[in-house]
Structure 1
Amino acid sequence: MGPPTQSPFRALASPHDIRVLHLDAGRPSEPLKGWLEYTRLDNPPHYEALSYEWGSGVKTRSIALQDGSVLPITESLHDALLDLRQDAPVGEPRTVWADAICINQQNIEELQDQVSIMASIYGKAAQVVTYIGPERNNSTLAIAFARELQRHVGTWGDGSLAGENPDLGLTHPTLPPLSDCRWVALKALILRTWASRCWCAHEFLLNRRLVLMCGTTKIPDWYLISDIVQRVFNRSLPASLLPAAEEDPHSLRECLTSLNGLRSLILGWRYCKLTLHELLRRSHPFQATDPRDKVYSVLGLADDRQRLELAVDYTCTAERLYIITAAKIVQAKPTAEILYSCLHAKSLTLPSWVPDWSNWHFGSYGTTLSRGYNACGSTVDEVSVDGTRLRVAGCLVDEIVHVGEPIGPHYISLDRGVSQRKAWLLKEYVEISRQLAREPFPGDEVVVDTFWRTLIGNTTLYEETAGQDYQALYNALLEYDGEGSPAETTASAREFCDAVRRRSRYRRLAVTRMGYVGAVPVTAERDDRVCMLQGRSLLFAVRPHGPGFTYLGHAYIHGLMNGEVLQAEWYRKQTITLE
């Protein structure tokens, strides 16, 4: 056994000091070498901030530093430094800031201080280099192909979300055939997981001077990959370019589009300041090895950070941090808007009204859009936090007496399970008709209209009330009979499936005791309640729990989405306590 490795770190003089790495030049086969400089963040040398994916965290590589010290590093950081070194002018060192080298990760106090000033570290860098991994799977060819597609695909599609399903989509007549190997290379580039990591996302947003590198190849436009994804969503490119759900457990499709939107908002020509709640909502799809980093990675960007008085504290558990964060958000702006970030399943043990920002389910954001609804009428939020309870003014509307099967699995693919989908539709329609025969729907609409409107939340892609043209789309779905169906029928059936997925992928059909038909959270059961909360455009499902309720999620109840609750003779304002 050799002598113990000397630590390369000496203490930082103040919480606003940083270290930068001067990376020595070298040939690709030579070991990494460099030296650390200690400097003030308010007057640093010219440096670049490196953003990269940590990967497994296992440190199988190393870099030799001054005084003979050796620092173990991960394979991913080793790859990044090797390629950065090759990109530097011949014989010259490259000065970079890389968290795993420039922060003493074993010193918890220093780690917290450095994470607290991360926004300044990246913001003051000469540029941010986002390294998305080494050259592999023909990535250089994929980058060139993406640029070619960006130049030549000038027309955008009809705005429907074909990209949610790899079996759907249109192919532009001038595009190369899908057998072209460049499509495979580009799909592999999209599947690189750097975009799903919350710290990579945070660092992507902090500096106007941003360079993406794949191997030693620079990607000329920071938005190139996300732009390709968006063009698939809008049917300008084949939907098979995007991964299927089983290939994309990290929701890379949503992460890439979220990165584009966030960077455009934060650093666009109209500089936008976002609250912590807004940042958490928009960055919900991103992932972190440490769930606390879902909050800490965006805290430095939050316009209300000082008002919330949240500090980076790695001695706090993730559960405690999420509860404190949610409470402070509600206290700073007393609304029930935070409920929209609560998904149908949680990984952490939390009060039902506290979002679990550590997990994500694809497509969840689209289900919460509410511009086309006004279930609360002209009421305003009345909300307060009492310990771990959320008290909200509202009204208990009705009791659920019937729930159907989960809707989402029947709309994963248009071409798979056509007969099964039709059988499911018929079964659900018959059961709802049977329920309404006993408890008539309080309205004069025919049951079939109530049925298809509820499936799509009675709204279009643009959040407008669906017209009778959508019944034609529903009828086309019933007529669709696989690959032999006419093109017009196929297109119409696809459009209706898209509408169902957007609104109801995590819902199930339900009937209430007063005969209302709705789409409720997939976790809802018979005997659960539907409620209206003041100031909120949607309705919600809750479950009785002692003196209060467990929050289940937002719901659509046909006939009660435009203030009708307030006009009903049974309306009674009350305080609803969510446990």
Structure 2
Amino acid sequence: MSRYDYKPLDPSKREFRLLHILPENDATSEDKSSIDPVRCTVSHASLDSAPPYDALSYTWGDPSTQTTIVVDGADFLATPNLEAGLRHLRKKDEIVTLWVDALCINQSDIPEKNFQLKQMREIYVQAKSVIAWLGPSSENSEEAMKWIEDYGGRSHQLKIGSIGGPRLISLLDALDGRDVPTDEAINEEATIFAADLREQLSPANSWHADLITALLKFFKRAYWNRIWIVQELASASNLIFVCGSDTASDNAIYDTLRLLRNFTQYQNLKWNRMVQETQFVKPSGVSLTQINTSRPINLLKFRRATHPAPLIHLMRTFRFFSSTDPRDKVFALLGISRDADVLGLRADYNKTCDQVYADAARRLIHAGYLDILGLVQYPKSVPGLQSWVPDLSRIHYRAPLQQRSLERKGPPGSTRLEPKFFASATKENIVLRRENTMAPDMPLSLHGVRVGKIEQVGLHWENEGGVGRWLHELQRLSQLGSFTDDNDEAVKYRAQAVWRAAVADQEIRQGVRKPRLADEKVHTAWESFKESDLKDVDEKALEDVGLSYYCEWLQTVSKGRRPLLCESSYLGIGPSETEPGDFVFVLLGSDLPFIMRSESDTSEKMQVIGEAYLHGIMDGEVMEKNPEIETIELC
């Protein structure tokens, strides 16, 4: 049988292709067998007058493994996951009409691909439904889907976690006999649900391990990590999740994820109290904490957003997601960002990956989003990237020192960086001159202040004994600095610098805010351990004095970083690649300082190593001294 040959689309008519899956009973008698191939036809339609259709959201899977389906009487090679999805959606006696990217776009025709990409969001918006195909049933997914539709559906009906509804942790605390705020709307039906949920998720029950394992494997499926589904789900007017022969609603999935996240928080708080009060030992084995709820929650949260977000927020939020083509880490987000047109960014598969990443980074920097430099990490796998261009193909990143969050009270779609740092004191300075800055062959020059040279660095973070060693390394460096007086105030200042630098002067997110480290927590740490060698401080010691959340964030922020001492005056933390002889700069318009390195002994050009925290310069102290402003040419 011949290979399928695409007929060209007419861009002037805003044409796109639709796939029609023929009924299962449509095959001729000789084709009826257990391995009857999926048979389809293709038609052209205009977005201005399209017939009813659904759109498929799925993950391609391994492109090197392919299976054959029949399209317009010709063979078409599809990935096994797509073939399985089409087979599951095929009906016995009806034609099913779908839009499927791998089939409806000629992937080898770059001009067509570029044009269809511009229309993709509208294709998903116009679809009757978006069908999120999670793959065939396996690893007890039937139990996971049933539980999701039951408990997630009931949570949605009861509005648990939504504005104006009862909060799960308050309901659970009430069941434990603990006081809850008088303004909480606690009702009998919600309380019964919370009791049932607590029973379901209790480690003491025989079914606990099987249920948690099923949910864990369900939310570890490749679907939840695919960058294109961000746009597909955000654009859907109606969304249904399909796994094998089971279905679950969008709301049931979202509420289940929030139940699991909030119950995990409650469980951690409860266990921490029990450890302190009774020497209780947490149960081992599979745990709710192993379920990564943040990625799918973010996916579905953007679907519910009232206004589109800026590209920088999308890129930072979904930096962990993957794509078959690394250029799609940018292209897949352009259609749902509110400022892609203003930035002058559009999908162009004629460009190489390094060109796509450099163009995106340059335009974001020019728009004032210097936090894109916070995504710079090493090693880089994309050839040709300059130091200031993040390798966006990565799926593993150290935690950023600031989080970019949607601003609920600001202009539609606006965002903020948290916690609030003000290293450059103001954002009103011109970051770049306009002329020629967009030309890809032009050097990128920024303005900033040189704080000083790195004199000492500590050891990299390690999980084994990491908490105590991390604190001890900061304590050791603090005793090498110029603030080595032994009077009480100097000793207390050094201790404060250690405890704040260890967590980059911040706490874990609290509701809609991510605050700086509270003074009372610094005081608690200082009073509790001022007579101790900090290398002996471990997780339990911090939990025993009420600093369990401090310990949690310490372990998050320290990974991929190392302690450092700058000019014998500033204690802080920076990327693990930081070396003695590197420089600290505060860039005009940036909240954070950056570590940079001379390209060579004879060059003034600088390489970006990454963002840093330095105690004593995070609130504009350096800028108060009227320092010299340098022009820094990056390489």
Select between 93-102 and 273-282 the one with higher mean Cα deviation: 273-282
Q: Are the structure 2 counterparts of residues 334 and 453 from structure 1 closer, same or farther at C-alpha, using a change threshold of 3 Å?
A: closer
Question: What is the alpha-carbon distance in structure 1 between the residues aligned to residue 507 and residue 40 of structure 2?
Answer: 57
Q: Counterparts of 1:235-254 in structure 2 under 5 Å? A: 235=266, 240-243=287-290, 253-254=293-294
Deviation for aligned residue 1:56:
0.3
- Per the alignment, in what secondary structure is the counterpart of residue 42 of structure 2? strand
What percent identity do the matched residue pairs reach? 26
Per the alignment, in what secondary structure is the counterpart of residue 308 of structure 2?
Answer: coil
Residue 318 (structure 1) shift:
0.2
1:346 aligns with 2:400: no
1:52 CA displacement: 0.7
Q: Secondary structure at the match of 1:383?
A: coil
Match of 1:11 among 2, 8, 11: 8
Letter in 1 for 2:213: V
Q: What secondary structure does 2:497 align onto? A: helix
Give the aligned partner of residue 304 of structure 2: 264
Q: Deviations over 1:283-336 (max 9, x none)?
A: 2221112111112111222333333443432221100111122223334x2453
Residues 226-237 of structure 1 correspond to what in structure 2 (within 5 A)?
226-228=257-259, 230-231=261-262, 234-235=265-266
Aligned-partner Cα distance in 2 for 1:392–1:40: 46
From 346, 349, 355, the counterpart of 1:320: 355
- Asked if 1:565 corresponds to 2:612, the answer is no
CA distance in 1, matches of 2:8, 2:426: 58
Q: Distance in 2 between matches of 1:223 and 1:525?
A: 44
Partner Cα separation in structure 2 for residue 342 and residue 196 of structure 1: 21
- Residue 480 (structure 1) shift: 6.5
Distance 1:524 1:341 in 2: 15
Aligned with 1:64: secondary structure? strand
Q: Quick check: 1:5–1:69 contact (8 Å CA) kept in 2?
A: yes
Report the Cα distance in structure 1 between the residues aligned to 2:543 and 2:484, rounded to whole angstroms. 35
Paired residues, number: 534
CA-CA distance at 1:273 after TM superposition: 2.7
Q: Which moved more, 1:514-523 or 1:149-158?
A: 149-158
What is the aligned partner in structure 1 of residue 223 from structure 2?
194
Q: 2:327 aligns with which of 282, 292, 299?
A: 292
Q: Relative to 1, partners in 2 of residues 1:32 and 1:174: Cα closer, same or farther, differing over 3 Å?
A: closer
Kept after mapping to 2: 8 A contact 1:229/1:256? no
RMSD in angstroms over aligned alpha carbons? 3.2
Quick one: which amino acid aligns to residue 507 of structure 2? T
CA distance change for structure 1 residues 440 and 355 in 2, over 3 Å: closer, same or farther?
farther
**1:349-498 aligned within 5 A:** 349-362=384-397, 364-365=399-400, 367-368=402-403, 370-384=418-432, 385=437, 387-407=441-461, 409-410=462-463, 417-418=464-465, 421-422=467-468, 425-426=471-472, 428-436=474-482, 444=490, 445-461=492-508, 462-472=514-524, 475=528, 489-490=543-544, 492=546, 494-498=548-552
Q: Do 1:406 and 1:506's aligned partners in 2 also have CA atoms closer than 8 Å?
A: yes
Partner of 2:148: 146
Structure 2 unaligned segments of length 5 or more: list them: 26-32, 161-166, 172-196, 272-285, 404-416, 509-513
Q: 1:533 to 1:362 in 2, by over 3 A?
A: closer
Selected match of 1:124 from 123, 126, 150: 126
1:156 aligns with 2:169: yes
SS at match of 1:105: coil
**1:34 alignment partner in structure 2:** 40
Q: Is the 8 A contact 1:8 1:65 kept in 2?
A: no
Distance 1:528 1:157 in 2: 49
Cα distance between partner residues in 1 of 2:244 and 2:545:
41
Answer whether contact 1:50 1:129 (CA < 8 A) is retained. yes
Distance in 2 (CA, whole Å) between partners of 1:424 and 1:281 is 27
SS of corresponding position for 2:424: coil
1:576 aligned onto 2:632: yes
Equivalent in the alignment of 2:280: none
Deviation at 1:397, TM superposition (A): 0.8
Kindly provide the amino acid, as one letter, of the partner of residue 156 in structure 1: I
Query: What are the superposed Cα offsets for residues 362-394 of structure 1, whole Å, 9 maximum, x if unpaired?
Result: 553465554332222235242223745332222
Residue 74 of structure 1 pairs with residue 79 of structure 2? yes
Letter matched to residue 458 of structure 1: D
Rounded to whole Å, the distance in 1 between the matches of 2:11 and 2:493 is 71
On the 8 A contact 2:454/2:564 being kept in 1, the answer is yes
Q: Label 1:454 to 1:76 Cα distance change in 2 as closer, same or farther (>3 A).
A: same
TM-score by length of 2: 0.76
Determine if contact 2:57/2:132 at 8 Å carries over to the other structure. yes
Q: TM-score, normalised to structure 1's length? A: 0.83
1:204 aligns to what? 233
Structure-1 residue corresponding to 2:254: 223
Q: What is the DSSP-based 3-state SS (H/G/I as helix, E as strand, rest coil) of the residue aligned with 1:377? A: coil
- Listed one character per residue, the Cα deviations across residues 430-474 of structure 1 (whole Å, up to 9, x for unaligned) are 343144577999x84432222111101222233134223345357
Distance 2:261 2:516 in 1: 22
**Matched position secondary structure for 2:212:** helix
C-alpha distance after superposition, 1:172-226 (max 9, x if no partner): 5773326521111111101111111111222121112111111121112252464
Unaligned runs of at least 5 residues, structure 1: 159-170, 245-251, 266-270, 411-416
